[in-house]
Chain A
Amino acid sequence: MIEPTLALYGDAFERVDRHLEELLAATGVRYCLLVDRKGFVLSHKEALWAPRPPALDSVATLVASNAAATAALANMLGERTFSEQIHQGEQGTLYVESVGDSALLTLIFDVSVPLGRVKVHTKKSIAQVALILEELADAPPVQFSDDFSSGANALLDDLFG
């Protein structure tokens, strides 16, 4: 195996989803994303009133890369990691906190939301989400049926000629 996989499904996915919903409601942030360390979005929620979200693929990639760079800096400075990142601009804030070693919780909000409130609620959610992700480590390995490869190859032929 190249990298521990995060196969999020069933009850675990629904519980993570619920925690993100609750976090969104409790904090008043615009967007809430659970991103894996490879930069893929595992789950995301947005407030009903929030404007059209930015490209979440790109946000997730940059957040994960930033977290990796921050962790490398932490190691150089003798820390195991820096668990949170805060980027504050004139209009809004990006807040990222580690969920164990496998994921990152990302919140995007505007100046009307106090950072302190976000931090308090995020830490609570992280404890709960981290437990769910730990459970996933014991999930059975993912199996695809034999014709997955032929289906994938047909797709590649269509797209790339």
Chain B
Amino acid sequence: MSTINFAAREINCKIVYYGPGMSGKTTNLKHVFSKVPAGLRGDMVSLATEDERTLFFDFLPLDLGTVQGFKTRFHLYTVPGQVFYNASRKLILRGVDGIVFVADSAPNRLRANAESMRNLRENLAEHGIDVRDVPIVLQVNKRDIDGALPTEMIRAVIDPKKELTLFEATAHNGGGVFETLKSVSKLVLDRLSQNK
């Protein structure tokens, strides 16, 4: 659950962008960083390899403003997508309040999408969290690439029961980035008000 500091009148929530390697998680954060007014966001921290693949995480603090006298702040994180960085992914999920699952539309990434979702379920379970206990939004990214898989085919391997809100996106030009973030933010704040 969110960290609430009554004395400082602050509510802090942690949102994690999850998904297979190269699906566009960091690109989502970079777009948010580039478009949100400087006064509302902090520095973006990227712990990446030399070829800009996320090594540990990217981090972006975002101030939403004040709700009922509480300064409301979101901390956005990405996880490293590559399979072999699972230990890092697990650590970053600690204390998560909301998740954006970024799926890749490339035709050869269908299995990677499915495996990443399975990995998410397993890692949440290791923290004692059922996947249904966390607000999750599905973003199907790279809709503009040649041969992009049909959205419903991607959903079928990630969310066969169609439980998640889905957004199509082209994160490299900002398409769908804020719609996705707004949706997961609403889910997180709704849960906070329901005291779950």
Contacts and interface: CB of A to CB of B under 8 A. Distances in A.
B67 interface: yes
Chain A: interface size category: 35 or more
Contacts of B43: 55, 57-58
A151 B68 contact: yes
A68 B94 contact: yes
Given A38-B95, A42-B5, A158 B65 contact: yes
B195 interface: yes
A147 B3 CA distance: 20
Interface stretch (B6-14, B112-120, B138-146, B151-159): B6-14
Chain B: interface size category: 35 or more
A3 interface: yes
Contacts of B95: 2-3, 36-39
Nearest to B87: A72
B125 to A, nearest CB: 13
A152 B4 contact: no
A107 to B, nearest CB: 20
B48 interface: no
A13 B5 contact: yes
Interface in A105-161: 141-149, 151-153, 155-161
Interface in B89-120: 90-92, 94-97
Nearest to B135: A2
B1 A58 contact: no
Interface stretch (A4-12, A24-32, A45-53, A83-91): A4-12
B134 interface: yes
21 contacts: A1-B1, A3-B1, A9-B7, A14-B7, A37-B95, A38-B94, A40-B5, A42-B5, A58-B43, A58-B61, A61-B75, A69-B91, A143-B195, A144-B193, A152-B64, A152-B186, A155-B65, A156-B182, A156-B186, A159-B36, A160-B178
